[in-house]
Amino acid sequence: MPNDIKPVKVSDIMKDVASSFDSSIASNWYSNIVGFLSGNKSFYVLLGLSGLLVFAAAMTALNAINIGYRHAYGVSREVPWGILISTYIFFVVTSTGLCIISSIGHVFGVKDFLPIAKRSVFLSVVTIFAGFTVIFFDIENPLRMALYNVISPNLTSNIWWMGTLYGAYMVFMAVEFIFLLIEKHKIAMYAGLAGLISGIAAHSNLGAIFGMLHGREFWYGPFMPIYFIASAMMSGCAAIIFFTWLGYRVNNERMDKPMERAMEVVGKLCTVMIAVLMFFTVWKLIIGSVAPAKYEVIKSMLHGHFAVNFWVFEVLMGMAAPFVLFLLSRWRNLNMMFVASSLMVVGIFFMRFDLVIAGEAVPSYYELGVKEYSHLLSYSPSFSEIMIVSAGMGIVAMSFLLGEKVFKGHKTEIH
Amino acid sequence: MKFIVNRRTVSLVESKKPCDEAREELLTPLDYRTVKTLDEARKKIWYKDWIKGGVNHREEDGAVVCDRKVKEKQWVVDVDSLEELIDFQGKYGEIMISNSSPYKEARTEIRILGVKGI
A308-313: which pairs have CB atoms within 8 A and are 24 or more residues apart? A309/A350, A309/A353, A309/A354, A310/A354, A313/A346, A313/A347, A313/A349, A313/A350, A313/A351, A313/A354
Residue spans of alpha helices (H) in chain B: 38-42, 47-53, 82-92
Gyration radius (Cα) of chain B, Å: 17
Enter the DSSP assignment of A41. Answer: T
Average pLDDT over residues A107-124: 93
Task: Enumerate the residues of chain B whose CB falls inside 8 A of the CB of residue A110.
Answer: 8-9
- Picking from A111, A188, A252, the nearest residue to B10 by CB comes out as A111
Question: Alpha carbon A212 to chain centroid distance?
Answer: 23
Q: What is the pLDDT of residue A324?
A: 97
pTM above 0.95, yes or no: no
- Which candidate, B15, B14, B21, B32, places its Cα nearest to that of B110? B21
Average pLDDT over residues A157-170: 94
Contact A111 B46 (CB under 8 A): no
DSSP, collapsed to helix, strand or coil, labels residue A194 as helix
Residue A2 confidence (pLDDT) above 70: no
- Picking from A253, A254, A258, the nearest residue to B100 by CB comes out as A258
- B7-23 tens-digit pLDDT: 988 888 777 899 999 99
Searching chain A, which residue's CA lies closest to the CA of residue B63? Answer: A254
Mutation for A interface: B11, B39, B45, B49, most A CBs within 10 A = B45
Searching chain A, which residue's CA lies closest to the CA of residue B73? Answer: A415
- Which candidate, A388, A41, A196, A78, places its Cα nearest to that of B45? A41
Residue spans of alpha helices (H) in A139-222: 142-151, 158-181, 185-211
Q: What is the pLDDT of residue A72?
A: 92
Q: Closest approach of chain A CAs to the CA of B15, in angstroms? A: 8
From residue A99, alpha-carbon distances to A47, A124, A164, A297 in Å are: 25, 6, 17, 32
Residue A205 confidence (pLDDT) above 50: yes
Q: What is the pLDDT of residue A244?
A: 94
User: Number of folded domains in chain B?
Assistant: 1
Q: What is the pLDDT of residue A35?
A: 59
* Residue pair A345/A359 in contact by the 8 Å Cβ criterion: no
Range of the domain at B36: 2-112
pLDDT confidence tier of residue A375, bands split at 50, 70 and 90: confident
Searching chain A, which residue's CA lies closest to the CA of residue B72? Answer: A413
Strand B108-112 versus strand B30-33 pairing type: unpaired
Residue spans of alpha helices (H) in A330-382: 334-361
User: Which residues in chain A (250-279) have CB-CB distances under 8 A to chain B?
Assistant: 250-254, 256-258, 261
- Which candidate, B1, B33, B2, B5, places its Cα nearest to that of B110? B5
Could you tell me how many residues make up chain A?
A: 415
DSSP, collapsed to helix, strand or coil, labels residue A51 as helix
Whether chain B has a CB inside 8 Å of the CB on A41: the answer is yes
Round the average pLDDT of chain A to a whole number and report it. 88
Enter the DSSP assignment of A337. Answer: H
Task: Enumerate the residues of chain A whose CB falls inside 8 A of the CB of residue B46.
Answer: 39, 251-252, 405, 408
Searching chain B, which residue's CA lies closest to the CA of residue A44? Answer: B45
Q: Closest approach of chain A CAs to the CA of B13, in angstroms? A: 5
Q: Closest approach of chain B CAs to the CA of A39, in angstroms? A: 5
A10-24, A80-94, A256-270: the lowest-pLDDT one: A10-24
Average pLDDT over residues A203-219: 91
* Residue pair A311/A282 in contact by the 8 Å Cβ criterion: no
Average pLDDT over residues A397-412: 86
Whether chain B has a CB inside 8 Å of the CB on A193: the answer is no
d(Cα A268, Cα A266) in Å, to the nearest integer?
5
Contact B45 A261 (CB under 8 A): no
Phi, psi for B108 (deg, rounded to 5): -130, 145
Average pLDDT over residues A160-179: 94
pLDDT confidence tier of residue A253, bands split at 50, 70 and 90: confident
Q: What is the pLDDT of residue B118?
A: 56
Q: Which helix (H) or strand (E) holds B25?
A: strand B23-27
Average pLDDT over residues A341-350: 97
B90: left (phi over 0), alpha (psi -120 to 50) or beta: alpha
Residue A169 confidence (pLDDT) above 50: yes
Q: Which amino acid is at A216?
A: R
- A25-37 tens-digit pLDDT: 555 656 656 655 6
Q: What is the per-residue DSSP string for A105-143?
A: HHTT-BGGGHHHHHHHHHHHHHHHHHHHHHHHTTSS-HH
Residue B117 lies inside a defined structural domain of this protein: no
CATH, domain range A42-406: 1.20.1630.10
d(Cα A105, Cα B10) in Å, to the nearest integer?
9
Residue B34 lies inside a defined structural domain of this protein: yes
Residue spans of alpha helices (H) in A182-306: 185-211, 223-251, 257-288, 292-303
d(Cα A31, Cα A7) in Å, to the nearest integer?
35
Q: What is the pLDDT of residue A221?
A: 87
Average pLDDT over residues A129-137: 94
pLDDT confidence tier of residue A1, bands split at 50, 70 and 90: very low
Which is higher by pLDDT, A320 or A7?
A320
pLDDT confidence tier of residue A369, bands split at 50, 70 and 90: confident
Residue A7 confidence (pLDDT) above 80: no
Q: What ipTM was predicted for this assembly?
A: 0.86
Residue A87 confidence (pLDDT) above 80: yes
A6-20, A185-199, A258-272, B16-30: the lowest-pLDDT one: A6-20
Q: Establish, for the pair of chains A and B, how many residue pairs have beta carbons separated by less than 8 Å.
A: 82
Average pLDDT over residues B46-65: 92
- Picking from B31, B53, B73, the nearest residue to A415 by CB comes out as B73
Q: What is the pLDDT of residue A21?
A: 47
d(Cα A336, Cα A316) in Å, to the nearest integer?
16
- Which candidate, A226, A241, A233, places its Cα nearest to that of A99? A233
pLDDT confidence tier of residue A217, bands split at 50, 70 and 90: confident
Question: Alpha carbon B90 to chain centroid distance?
Answer: 24
Average pLDDT over residues A59-71: 90
Contact B12 A109 (CB under 8 A): yes
- Which candidate, A317, A331, A320, places its Cα nearest to that of A266? A331
Residue B15 lies inside a defined structural domain of this protein: yes
Whether chain A has a CB inside 8 Å of the CB on B55: the answer is no
Task: Count CB neighbours of A230 within 10 A.
Answer: 17
- A283-316 tens-digit pLDDT: 999 988 888 778 888 999 999 889 999 999 999 9
Q: How many CA atoms, within 13 angstroms, populate the side-chain half-sphere of residue A218?
A: 24
User: Which residues in chain B (5-34) have CB-CB distances under 8 A to chain A?
Assistant: 6-15, 31-34
Q: What is the pLDDT of residue A183?
A: 83
Residue B107 lies inside a defined structural domain of this protein: yes
pLDDT confidence tier of residue A252, bands split at 50, 70 and 90: confident
Q: What is the pLDDT of residue B105?
A: 94
Task: Enumerate the residues of chain B whose CB falls inside 8 A of the CB of residue A40.
Answer: 43-45
Residues of chain A by 3-state class (helix, strand, coil), percent to 5: 80, 0, 20
Contact B12 A189 (CB under 8 A): yes
Q: What is the pLDDT of residue A29?
A: 58
Q: Which helix (H) or strand (E) holds B112?
A: strand B108-112
Q: What is the pLDDT of residue A295?
A: 87
Searching chain A, which residue's CA lies closest to the CA of residue B24? Answer: A415
Q: What is the pLDDT of residue A38?
A: 65
